[in-house]
Amino acid sequence: MAGGRRLAAALLGALLGALLSAAQRELRFRPAPAEAPVRLFTEPELARYAGQQEGQPIYLAVKGVVFDVTSGKEFYGKGAPYNALVGKDSTRGVAKMSLDPADLTHDITGLTEEELKSLDDIFNNVYKAKYPIVGYTSRRILNEDGSPNLDFKPEDQPHFSIKDEF
């Protein structure tokens, strides 16, 4: 009886060993998955990701960077406390900790030093730390009149690699 159990254990060990080495071979020869490409979002395109439809990802832009905040559904989903922030660039609201519809805009005109510092803190320590970047708002690259936004520097963007097409 004990011998039978030892044999079963040995067989199981051999089987696991074979499976593991097959898995290792598989991993070694498979090319690394490419990073998901980033996208450019117009306002109507971003508005499609406001958490209203079940199963649709939820996107929120801060400082023109579009984050996938689907994993924070309890904050941003339909009926959740910060749902008003999503589907748009809510930079001003995040800087001022305000959900007032007038503040749910990319516009940072007239913010105080303290609000700008708070914005950078939340941008770096909440959004960049917690959520994947899926793209940029078109406004970050072009001004409203179609002229280039001279403040936009691709090389400063997170995830940017000089070999990637932007």
Which CB atom, from 38 or from 84, has the smaller least distance to ligand HEM? 84
Cβ 93 to ligand HEM, closest distance in Å? 5
Which CB atom, from 99 or from 133, has the smaller least distance to ligand HEM? 99
Cα dist from 47 to 40, 44, 73, 124, whole Å: 13, 5, 16, 23
Which CB atom, from 132 or from 142, has the smaller least distance to ligand HEM? 132
Contact 68, 132 (CB under 8 A): yes
CB atoms within 10 A of CB 6: 10
Return the bridge partners of 136, or none: 40, 65
Cβ 107 to ligand HEM, closest distance in Å? 15
C-alpha torsion sign, points 82, 89, 60, 52: positive
Whole-angstrom Cα distance, residue 120 to residue 156? 15
Which CB atom, from 72 or from 77, has the smaller least distance to ligand HEM? 72
> What residue ranges bind ligand HEM (CB under 6 A)?
69, 72, 75, 82, 93-94, 97-99, 126, 130
Cβ 60 to ligand HEM, closest distance in Å? 8
Whole-angstrom Cα distance, residue 122 to residue 100? 18
Q: Which residue is nearest to ligand HEM (CB)?
A: 72
Contact 141, 39 (CB under 8 A): no
Cβ 61 to ligand HEM, closest distance in Å? 13
